[in-house]
Amino acid sequence: MNDIPKAISLKIKSMQRGEITEYYVYKNIAKRVKDASNKEILLKIANDEMRHYNVWKTFLGEEAKPNRLKIFYFTTLAFLFGYTFTLKLMERGEDRANDYYTEIGEYSDQAKQIAMEEDEHEKALIGMLDEERLSYVGSMVLGLNDALVELSGALAGLTFAFTDTKLISLSGLITGIAASLSMAASQYLSSKADGRPDALKSSVYTGIAYVVTVAILITPYLLLGNQYIALGVMLFSVVLIIFLFNYYISVAKDLEFKKRFFQMAIISLSVAVISFFIGILVKKFLGVDI
């Protein structure tokens, strides 16, 4: 230790704390996982993290306390959004750790071995995880995308056709609920026709994604008195939903984010703009003023 610069020693301590922190993250997530295969993979990674921690503990001759806030954050994130998304997000933040390993490797051969395991073995294990909810991403995309396109368009058209935000929200709610039931039923029948044994669960994911989207898009009209401000907030919500959902999918399934985001956003906003002008024409030619 006497020959190691202080800056390198501090980086080793940082790595040591990171290893013990991630050990507890993997252990906590594994406790909630019911699938035996996935649980085994998570515990395997946790044990690897503990082994790495012990290497640094022996090297430095001192203990390290885990980052409790980070443990709580990632454990909560896994509960809300699933462990595949959470663990891949956590791994994305380890670029700096790889740089640290490169520097530390000049003073410790063990650092090179740990770096190789972190970069290859751990990522391979995470890639083996098979989380149920990710199997229904297609169903969620169907419900989410359909709700965004249909309801944002309907609300945009109703915004100019009517002046009362409560009437707009009521019309949108009725349209949204009817459409969500129709979409869920269509997804069930389609999955059943394809011989899928999980047809009901697939339709439930579609329906839930649709209903949640409907609730978010209608909320501005329930809370705001000005229909044009509500329209602006609603369109912002559309873009935000598209951004968050595509970010989630890009991390969880290692897909490209930018192309998927812009494609979905352009379609939804284009439909909203067209519907808005349809609302203007309907109001002008039919003389509706409510």
Q: What is the mean pLDDT of each run of 10 residues along the chain (290 residues)?
A: 68 84 90 83 86 82 88 88 81 62 66 65 64 64 75 78 80 83 79 74 80 87 84 87 83 78 81 72 61
Q: Are 31 and 42 in contact (CB under 8 A)?
A: no
Alpha helices in 65-198 (DSSP H): 68-81, 83-92, 95-104, 109-116, 122-127, 137-161, 165-193
pLDDT of residue 2: 47
Say how many residues make up the chain: 290
What is the distance between the alpha carbons of residues 116 and 98, in angstroms, rounded to a whole number? 9
Looking at residue 127, what is its pLDDT?
Answer: 67
- What pLDDT does 69 receive? 92
Q: How far apart are CA 168 and CA 163, in angstroms?
A: 8
Domain boundaries, given as residue ranges, for the chain: 6-130, 133-286
d(CA 176, CA 173): 5
Q: What is the mean pLDDT of the chain?
A: 78
Q: Which residues are CB-contacts of 203 (< 8 A; sequence separation ≥ 6)?
A: 139, 184, 185, 187, 188, 191
State pTM to two decimals: 0.67
Task: Mention the CATH class of domain 6-130.
Answer: mainly alpha
Q: Which amino acid is it at 254?
A: D
Output the pLDDT for position 72: 93
CB neighbours of residue 68 within 10 Å: 10
pLDDT at 99: 61
Encoded amino acid at 217, one letter: L
